Structure 1
Amino acid sequence: MAARIYTRHGDDGTTGRFLGGRISKASPLVAACGDVDEAVAVLGIARAGCRAAGLTALAELVLRLQRELFVVGADLATHPERRHRLEPGVSVVTDDMTGALETLIDDRLAANPLQPVFLVPGTTAASAQLDLARTVVRRAERHAVGARDAGEHVSDPVLRYLNRISDLLFVLARDASGPEAEPVSH
């Protein structure tokens, strides 16, 4: 018999946690996990847009970020009593991951300083897609904070990583806008 995608376990309004256990689909933690999943998908669109625009190095960086967001998702979704089984950088977010994002931000800003104006998203398809990914990550961060405030386990490294990756996506979207970027006002 062929494998099925459906299990019927979630029909009761719960979803499985990484390494066992179940949690309500209405939990703020599940909302944060869903946002991270959505960010990975939106970054997939951005990666395809980067490739189509010939921005190969940016597409490779976006793939790296997608993979790191899977680490964030695993960290968030893990049953709190089984966190000892997680592997740094594979299923648990580390401070080194955030430090690497900070280095990328600093390097990019040194090479291409931000304009002192707000830009209207959409100068290029790739920049618009990166801006969309940034907003989804910001929502993931808000939901992760809400989950922590509601008593769920959300590690400080996850919160720092989400904050920093959204900063990086802001910078990358500005880079992808190129010189034709449109300021909010003239």
Structure 2
Amino acid sequence: MKIYTKTGDNGTTGLLYGGRVGKDSPQIELNGAVDEAQACLGVARAHASTEIALICRDIELDLWILMAEVATQPEKRDHLKPGTTLVSASMVTHLEELIDEISTRFAPPKEFVVPGEEVTAAFLDVARTVVRRAERQSIAFVRDAPDSLVQIYLNRLSDLLWTLARWSEGTSLAARGAHRAE
């Protein structure tokens, strides 16, 4: 099987469960931003501690579910399955639970954060900004799918990425401080 199909040479792309749309359509733009966020998470994961890496991998897998939902025409949404091809309420709840649990592990910053204190945190902050762009782009998508949780998931995901970045910074700074004390 070849990696290229040539079916997109006319500026369109195929959707899950059939149909084609322009590669510049709002839903494909949204999926492009989510794909970019997923790649950014992969870079963060490659530099992260084991626990953050596992969280990032789970999120990357969740983003496939989100992209499947976005790549489905509104009239075919009845084909979607929660947690498999449709963002579910439990996926959003899981992000909220992670935010709450990880937030107990560090003192929140008292002022605006300047990204770049530590490599993993910097990559997580890049991923967060891409997720925020995807969230903005999701507004047009959810107008046609008002029952969708895509925008809410992306909102919580950006909050989780901010939380993970701050935790990673705190862990790294504490480790550097302990090392200097030795």
Assess same fold via TM > 0.5. Answer: yes
Q: TM-score, normalised by structure 2?
A: 0.89
Matched position secondary structure for 1:12: coil
- 1:82 alignment partner in structure 2: 76
- Matching of residue 23 in structure 1 with residue 21 in structure 2: yes
Alpha-carbon offset, residue 166 of structure 1? 0.4
Alpha-carbon offset, residue 155 of structure 1? 4.4
- 2:178 alignment partner in structure 1: none
- 1:100 alignment partner in structure 2: 94
Matched position secondary structure for 1:111: coil
In 2 relative to 1, CA 79–47 (structure 1 residues): closer, same or farther, beyond 3 Å? same
Query: How far apart in 1 are the matches of 2:151 and 2:50?
Result: 29
Alpha-carbon offset, residue 147 of structure 1? 3.5
- 2:39 alignment partner in structure 1: 41
Q: Which of 137, 145, 155 is 1:163 aligned to?
A: 155
Query: How far apart in 1 are the matches of 2:146 and 2:11?
Result: 22
Deviates more, 1:164-173 or 1:71-80: 71-80
> How many residues are aligned here?
173
- 1:11 alignment partner in structure 2: 9
Matched position secondary structure for 1:156: coil
Deviates more, 1:72-81 or 1:40-49: 72-81
In 2 relative to 1, CA 66–154 (structure 1 residues): closer, same or farther, beyond 3 Å? farther
Superposition RMSD on alpha carbons, in Å?
Answer: 1.6
Q: Which runs of 5+ in 1 are unaligned?
A: 182-186
1:83 partner amino acid? R
Alpha-carbon offset, residue 139 of structure 1? 0.5
- 1:143 alignment partner in structure 2: 137
Contact 2:142 2:148 in 1 (8 A): no
- Matching of residue 178 in structure 1 with residue 176 in structure 2: no
Q: Which runs of 5+ in 2 are unaligned?
A: 175-182
Deviates more, 1:77-86 or 1:59-68: 77-86
Contact 1:144 1:159 in 2 (8 A): yes
Contact 1:144 1:154 in 2 (8 A): no
Query: How far apart in 1 are the matches of 2:61 and 2:142?
Result: 23
- 1:184 alignment partner in structure 2: none
> CA-to-partner distance for each residue in 1:36-88, whole Å, 9 max, x for gaps?
111111100000011xxxx1111111100110111111111112222222221
Q: TM-score, normalised by structure 1?
A: 0.87
Query: How far apart in 1 are the matches of 2:12 and 2:141?
Result: 16
Query: How far apart in 1 are the matches of 2:73 and 2:141?
Result: 14
Query: How far apart in 1 are the matches of 2:134 and 2:147?
Result: 14
